[in-house]
Chains A and B, each alone.
Chain A
């Protein structure tokens, strides 16, 4: 019988198979969700008490509603989410290389981008859920206050940010395919963004000689736009600069990352190291 007679499944069927696989595996690790929930509670409590040191109405917090706790929760929750988009794809490649499943996935007639995205889908969705849970816990138990939420702003900033960080994620995955470890994109962006991207303090507090670095980081615009949309009751026009900056990052990163991935797959196949670790 020829292979050509095989039933063709749509992309959602394949992606749902990845989700089911990872959900079934996660069910066998019974305490992972509980530990994640406890981590969110502890992080929220930490910033709740740190916020008591920062008086309400601090000028640098003015553009974001003025409350440090809300500022920090949005920063920490969303930077974790962005970190997952940035690191998740390379992490699944690395995990499949180390666990030995990568070749078995790549000899199936499922495309490599589908394998890459499908393998990370569960982690990405779980991190979205954790981010919402983080905000929910902060709202329900620690008195976080939202402004008049700018829905379209949240949507635009959210989508552009996710695409942008997926681009970085694909670049990282390309690096891991060829060099196996030591992903510089994740390391540089992750470390530098934590300090200079406005995650737990406003960028305005940085000395001017280094503040320009913040303007090169997508996380700066992502968090600025998201905080203004959630906390500061601003209109769409006021977040347009953030949206424009994120759009520029996307125009550069998305085609560059797809090209890098194609070249990386070809190089790994040429070197015979696709599944090496």
Chain B
């Protein structure tokens, strides 16, 4: 059993360069302007949990997920996944994670769902009968067996999101990173996704699901633990019961106090 937490971030800092117009570049060519996305963020996520990262748009959720997925390098502090440093050990980190990218453009639209999974399966190091068995397994788990041989461009939005989970599960990784999985889904489809992530993946398969959302109801219903991020830092972290004082106050009030912005309701 790996004694490391699934995810650990210590004093994590990320600043992005600000886009500058031509005139500004000519006037001040050596000036460097940045905007701060993460400002000394600390976070610890234990294994086998459905963990929701709640925060308004622009709070730093996607930046944190991309740092954990090795797609963005931090400017300060450190982060590790499964005990591996994201900056110095990107290879082991990629082996430890499945990243369910919430962008339907990340698939090949003219290929079928199965053909997409065959391709990404090979990139995850799967081949031959083992790859085919794994694809059948993830298609069964995501209930896409009947649609497996349809072209991706014929999938509904909900099916595309499920195929993103199927692709992330090909990795057989212990940690799943999920960025706003229910965005643009209807409430029933969103509930199915929530039940799938917590019921099938966390409770059924023992995985850690790190799940960024700005939907309070979704977090309250499906997360074991919640962290609220605002202006690049974790403002609160705990179970819903502990954060709300066993229901004496609402999650909405806790959230608003933490980030100072009204939440999105479903």
Are A and B bound to each other? yes
Contact, CB under 8 Å: A108 / B108: no
Min CB gap A107→B, angstroms: 5
A220: Cβ under 8 A from any B Cβ: no
Docked complex Cα distance between A16 and B122 (Å): 9
Contact, CB under 8 Å: B2 / A2: yes
Contact, CB under 8 Å: A2 / B119: no
Min CB gap B156→A, angstroms: 18
Q: A13-B127, A108-B123, A108-B124 are in contact. Are A3 and B106 (CB under 8 A)?
A: no
Contact, CB under 8 Å: A103 / B71: yes
Contact, CB under 8 Å: B71 / A109: no
A21's contact among B96, B108, B130, by CB below 8 Å, is which?
A: B108
Contact, CB under 8 Å: B173 / A3: yes
Q: Which residues of chain A from 64 to 109 have a CB within 8 Å of any chain B CB? A: 99-101, 103-109
Docked complex Cα distance between A17 and B108 (Å): 13
Docked complex Cα distance between A21 and B103 (Å): 19
Q: A28-B110, A101-B105, A272-B16 are in contact. Are A14 and B71 (CB under 8 A)?
A: no
Q: A7-B130, A9-B127 are in contact. Are A104 and B106 (CB under 8 A)?
A: yes
Contact, CB under 8 Å: B120 / A108: yes
Of chain B, the residue at the smallest CB distance from A265 is B73
Contact, CB under 8 Å: A274 / B71: yes
Min CB gap B151→A, angstroms: 8
B115: Cβ under 8 A from any A Cβ: yes
B144: Cβ under 8 A from any A Cβ: no
Contact with B along A13-32 (1 / 0, CB 8 A): 11011101100110010000
> Given the complex, which residues of B lie within 8 Å of A275, measured CB to CB?
71
Surface stretch bound by A, among B62-70, B210-218, B244-252: B62-70
Docked complex Cα distance between A110 and B91 (Å): 9
B204: Cβ under 8 A from any A Cβ: no
Min CB gap B80→A, angstroms: 14
> Given the complex, which residues of B lie within 8 Å of A35, measured CB to CB?
none
Q: Which of B73, B75, B107 has the most CB of A within 10 A?
A: B73
Of chain A, the residue at the smallest CB distance from B124 is A108
B101's contact among A3, A25, A107, A274, by CB below 8 Å, is which?
A: A107
> Given the complex, which residues of A lie within 8 Å of B97, measured CB to CB?
3, 107
A5: Cβ under 8 A from any B Cβ: yes
Q: A9-B127, A107-B70 are in contact. Are A21 and B119 (CB under 8 A)?
A: yes
Contact, CB under 8 Å: B16 / A6: no
Of chain B, the residue at the smallest CB distance from A114 is B123
Contact with B along A100-138 (1 / 0, CB 8 A): 110111111110000100000000000000000000000
B234: Cβ under 8 A from any A Cβ: no
> Given the complex, which residues of A lie within 8 Å of B108, measured CB to CB?
21, 25, 101
A58: Cβ under 8 A from any B Cβ: no
Q: Which residues of chain B from 120 to 177 have a CB within 8 Å of any chain A CB? A: 120, 122-127, 130, 167, 171-174
B3: Cβ under 8 A from any A Cβ: no
Contact, CB under 8 Å: B2 / A272: no
Q: Which of A6, A7, A17, A108 has the most CB of B within 10 A?
A: A108
A269: Cβ under 8 A from any B Cβ: yes
Of chain A, the residue at the smallest CB distance from B95 is A3
Contact with A along B85-109 (1 / 0, CB 8 A): 0000001101111010101011110
A266: Cβ under 8 A from any B Cβ: yes
Contact, CB under 8 Å: A14 / B171: no
Contact, CB under 8 Å: A17 / B72: no
Contact, CB under 8 Å: B72 / A7: no
Min CB gap B204→A, angstroms: 12
Docked complex Cα distance between A100 and B171 (Å): 20
Min CB gap A51→B, angstroms: 41
Min CB gap A276→B, angstroms: 11
Min CB gap B27→A, angstroms: 21
B61: Cβ under 8 A from any A Cβ: no
Contact, CB under 8 Å: A25 / B110: yes
> Given the complex, which residues of A lie within 8 Å of B118, measured CB to CB?
17, 20
Q: A1-B174, A2-B174 are in contact. Are A101 and B107 (CB under 8 A)?
A: yes
> Given the complex, which residues of B lie within 8 Å of A271, measured CB to CB?
16-17
> Given the complex, which residues of B lie within 8 Å of A9, measured CB to CB?
122, 125-127
A-B contact pairs, 26 of them (CB 8 A): A1-B205, A3-B172, A3-B173, A4-B95, A4-B96, A6-B125, A7-B125, A7-B127, A7-B130, A9-B122, A9-B126, A17-B123, A20-B118, A25-B108, A103-B101, A103-B106, A107-B71, A107-B94, A109-B95, A109-B125, A266-B73, A269-B70, A270-B73, A270-B75, A272-B16, A272-B72
The 7 A-B residue pairs with the shortest CB-CB distance, nearest first, are A100-B105, A17-B122, A3-B95, A108-B123, A104-B106, A3-B173, A109-B94
A residues contacting B by CB (< 8 A) are 1-9, 13-14, 16-18, 20-21, 24-25, 28, 99-101, 103-110, 115, 266, 269-272, 274-275
4 other A-B residue contacts (CB within 8 Å) besides A7-B125, A14-B122: A106-B71, A107-B71, A107-B94, A272-B63
